[in-house]
Amino acid sequence: MLMDKYKKIISRIYDSVSAIPPRGKIADYIPALAQVAPGSYGIAIALPDGRTDGVGHWHTKFSIQSISKVFTLAMVMRHMGSSLWQYVGREPSGSPFNSLVQLEHEHGIPRNPFINAGALVVTDRLIGLYDRPKEAILSFVRSVAGSDDIYFDKTVARSEYEHASRNLALAHFMKSFGNINGSVDTLIDVYCNQCSIAMSCEELARSFLFLTDRGINPFDGERILSVSRAKRLSALMLTCGFYDESGDFAFRVGLPGKSGVGGGIVAFIPGRLSIAVWSPELNEYGNSVRGIDTLERFTTDLGISIF
Ligand code: GLN
pLDDT of residue 91: 95
For the beta carbon of residue 185, count every other beta carbon within 10 angstroms.
12
DSSP strands (E only) in the chain: 25-26, 42-46, 52-56, 62-63, 151-152, 197-199, 257-259, 264-269, 273-278, 281-282
> Reduced to 3 states, what is the DSSP secondary structure of residue 290?
helix
The C-alpha atoms of residue 219 and residue 293 are separated, in whole angstroms, by 30
Q: Hey, which of 97, 193, 278 would you mutate to test ligand 1's pocket, going by the most ligand atoms within 8 Å of its Cβ? A: 97
Which of 17, 184, 261, 289 is catalytic? The answer is 261
Q: Is 118 in the pocket of ligand 1 (CB under 6 A)?
A: no
Closest approach atom of ligand 1 to CA 243: 9
Cβ–ligand 1 contact at 195 (below 6 Å): yes
Distance 230 CA to ligand 1 centre (A): 23
Main-chain dihedrals φ then ψ at residue 264, nearest 5 degrees: -90, 150
Question: pLDDT tens-digit profile of 143-180?
Answer: 999 999 999 999 999 999 999 999 999 999 999 999 99
Beta carbons of 289 and 23 less than 8 angstroms apart: yes
Answer yes or no: are the C-beta atoms of 47 and 179 closer than 8 Å: no
pTM exceeds 0.95:
yes
CA distance 140 to 50: 17
227 is a catalytic site residue: no
Ligand 1 centroid, distance to 266 Cα (angstroms):
15
Rg (CA), the chain: 18
To the query of whether residue 69 is one of the catalytic residues in this protein, the response is yes
Name which residue sits closest to atom 6 of ligand 1, judged by CA: 66
Q: So what's the pLDDT on residue 13?
A: 98
Note the helical H segments in 181-275: 184-196, 201-207, 209-212, 227-240, 246-252
> How many residues are there in the chain?
307
Burial of 210 from C-beta contacts in 10 A (0-12 / 13-18 / 19+): buried
Would the pLDDT of 1 be above 90? no
Query: 289 pLDDT band (50/70/90 cuts)?
Result: very high
Counting atoms of ligand 1 from 1, which one is nearest the CA of 65? 8
Ligand 1 nearest-atom number relative to CA 195: 1
